[in-house]
Amino acid sequence: MRQFTATELKAHLDQNADNPPLLVDVREPWEFDICHIAGSRLVPMRQIPKAAEEMDPQQETVVICHHGIRSFQVIRFLESELDFTGLINLAGGVAAWAREVDPGMPVY
């Protein structure tokens, strides 16, 4: 499984500004409302099986949660059950993003 640190994701987004990866945030709506990475799409973890039907399994997709645990579980499911190949876990989640990239981001 590929993983990016928050700093690596920021650099990757900057380098691929014309063709960014899909950012999928698997937290709950109330969490997303508090903070999220700009451009990310909210798909709560429980909705992933249905949402996956509309996703490209080969598209570069960064999966995001609070600390990187739920996103890790989602990636394992998508890779093992649905043969997704372009997935990247954000290690440390939005908490790491707030610490390393955007210190002004609200945290919880």
Are 37 and 97 spatial neighbours (Cβ–Cβ below 8 Å)?
Answer: yes
Buried b (16+ CB within 10 A) or exposed e, 23-61: bbbbbeeebbeebbbeebebbebeebeeebeebeeeebb
Q: Is 65 a catalytic residue?
A: yes
User: Could you say which of 37, 62, 65, 74 is catalytic?
Assistant: 65
24 phi and psi angles, rounded to 5 deg: -115, 115
Contacting residues for 76 by C-beta, under 8 A, at least 6 apart: 1
Which residues are identified as catalytic?
Answer: 65
